[in-house]
Structure 1
Amino acid sequence: MSVGSRIRSARWRLIVPVLVAAASVGSAVILYVTQYRTDVQTDATAASSAVRAASEGTVALLTYKPDTVDADLASAKAHLTGEFLNYYGKFSDEILLPAAKDRAVATEASVVRAAEAEIHPDTAKVLVFVNQTTTSRDRPDASQSASSVMVSLAKVDGHWLISAFDPI
């Protein structure tokens, strides 16, 4: 092998790894900017959407009337997902439904304030402050309570659904 071919061979051995490294870095940057930037996927609009879903879901979970309880509970379940949906289904069938029908328990909830505590592309946690008014046949005078709840959300088919509901 001549000296000139050795030099060309040495240059190529140096150039090829540099080109491969540059292509890899370029690909990584493009993927990061277009696919993996969570700050774009969790912008103010995403946070606002999560807060709205948590607020609406909280009101749906905590509001029902004896004469519309079946529809109220079905509406609440539409805001839920996963194990929490299973838990709420059982709880509402065994506790809420009989109480609403047998003792005329009615509750009305309103969200006083809500803010995101944590936001990711497919999950979020929202702190919700709730006022709730409860009446029943035994206690017709309204009983008011205030509480706070950490609402965990999961994005399912592009919609935020409640996956956990933890009183604080």
Structure 2
Amino acid sequence: MNLGTKRIVLAVTAVVLFVAAVAASGFTGYRFWSDRQAERARAASVTATQRTLEAIFTYDYKSVDNELPKAANNLTSDFRHDYLILIKNDIAPAAKQKDLTVRATAEAAGVISTDRSHAVVLAYLNQVLTSKDSPQGSVLSTRVRVSLDKDAGQWLVAKIDPI
């Protein structure tokens, strides 16, 4: 092999190695970015779940008509519609009849599955209920599976299933 051929082979090898290094760097960068996005989605969906559960399951009979509809802003349109009907027809009348006060706390939550636009979260919810029949209060603990959809950058609860 003469000197000219060696230089061409060396140049081609250098170009191939450079392209391979750029491709590997790009792939690694994409994976890092993708993993960070997934972690952000997990953290944001858990936060949204806890905040929303506490808002929709906490109310006082004196202000139930004002409190609970505000919490509906954190729900998807279909679930919001059903929730508002439930408030009007069942929750508010029962709360007023029994002088019911409920304080909910999402004690723990963890992601079951997530992607960029949908998440499923398992949460443990404790509720302290007081009423005219039970002024000392009682505690209700529940596990719920919460489905969320991301809409315009915000995680909204689409469904809540007790487990």
Please give the TM-score of this superposition, normalised by the length of structure 1.
Answer: 0.74
Between the aligned partners of 1:70 and 1:38, the Cα distance in structure 2 is 44
1:83 CA displacement: 2.1
Show structure 1 runs of 4+ deviating over 4 A.
none
Residue of structure 1 in register with 2:161 after alignment: 166
- Kindly indicate whether the alpha-carbon contact (under 8 Å) linking 1:152 and 1:165 is maintained by their aligned counterparts in 2: yes
Residue of structure 2 in register with 1:81 after alignment: 76
- Kindly indicate whether the alpha-carbon contact (under 8 Å) linking 2:38 and 2:115 is maintained by their aligned counterparts in 1: no
State yes or no: 1:53 paired with 2:38. no
Between the aligned partners of 2:33 and 2:83, the Cα distance in structure 1 is 31
1:122 CA displacement: 0.7
Residue of structure 1 in register with 2:102 after alignment: 107
1:145 CA displacement: 1.3
Residue of structure 2 in register with 1:125 after alignment: 120
Aligned-partner residue type, residue 151 of structure 1: V
1:75 CA displacement: 2.1
Give the unaligned 5+ runs of structure 1: 1-25
Give the share of equivalent positions with the same residue, in percent: 30
Distance 1:85 1:38, change over 3 A: farther
1:157 CA displacement: 1.2
| CA offset digits 1:39-79 (Å, max 9, x no partner) | 45742122101000000000011100012212211222111
Aligned residues: 137
Please give the TM-score of this superposition, normalised by the length of structure 2.
Answer: 0.76
1:82 CA displacement: 3.0
Distance 1:95 1:146, change over 3 A: same
- Kindly indicate whether the alpha-carbon contact (under 8 Å) linking 1:42 and 1:119 is maintained by their aligned counterparts in 2: no
Select the residue among 30, 38, 45 that pairs with 1:43: 38
- Kindly indicate whether the alpha-carbon contact (under 8 Å) linking 1:41 and 1:121 is maintained by their aligned counterparts in 2: no
Between the aligned partners of 2:43 and 2:80, the Cα distance in structure 1 is 23
- Kindly indicate whether the alpha-carbon contact (under 8 Å) linking 2:48 and 2:156 is maintained by their aligned counterparts in 1: yes
SS for the counterpart of 1:43 is: helix
Between the aligned partners of 1:40 and 1:71, the Cα distance in structure 2 is 40
Residue of structure 1 in register with 2:91 after alignment: 96
RMSD of Structure 2 on Structure 1 (CA) = 2.3
Aligned-partner residue type, residue 104 of structure 2: A
| CA offset digits 1:126-159 (Å, max 9, x no partner) | 1100111111112212010111000100111110
1:166 CA displacement: 0.4
